[in-house]
Structure 1
Amino acid sequence: LYPGVADTLEALCAAGWRLAVVTNKPGPVTRPILEGLGIARFFGAVVGGGDTPALKPDPAPLRLAAERMGVTLDADDWMAGDNFTDLEAGRRAGLRRCFCSYGFGEPREETWDLAIDRFADLRESLSR
């Protein structure tokens, strides 16, 4: 777990943010990872590869996460991720996008609304 992740997730939830995990990893693999890291409780939905017919960058997994949380995606919502598939899924869903430069992937072009170098930076950036 990256430094500051648990504290940042807790602070975002306390501030009223509703969070979900959307990954191309299979859901049955993802959920135990989140539980093992002690952060599963922060997420109102977990959508993994196989939960929808298409994977990111298709926006269907993001829409399913919103549906599971009982919300509708809109232009004020955010998608944070470390690679092209994350950012492109967010774009296709009409969301704001945050590039996490510390992750494993790379964007194909600089078309995001926010870039952070540490997950802990997200809290301060979203409170502006």
Structure 2
Amino acid sequence: MRSLYCALFLLLLTACGEQGVSFDAEVDELGKHIVDAVKADAAVSDASYRYEHGLDRGQHLHITATVTDPARSDQVVDTAAKTFWQSPARVYHLTVTVQDASGATLSTRNIEDAASFDRPEMERSYGPRPGR
């Protein structure tokens, strides 16, 4: 019976690995690439990313950008969204937060690559995702 539990546990871990819950270097690199893309905007004074993965999270990138010009918030969000969408990395969740120098949130966007969520709108804006 013990070996049956071990086999089931290993099967569960293998299946979860296919769901994208383990660390993926390509997703981590995408986080860095998105930060570089938003930092190219002169209104962005700082940007960072946090990459979460695990059984309870899947793959999720969080981008935070600080802007000197609040009027540029939507453009910064759009740059991050476009860079995310045009990447072949296997990540399906992105949260972008734009804040001012005091840390006050100016704009937040959560993107989920699912047919019932953001995929139709994202495909209209940026085309289909590579490798999908």
TM-score by length of 1: 0.27
TM-score by length of 2: 0.27
- Structure showing greater Rg: 2
More helix by share: 2
More strand by share: 2
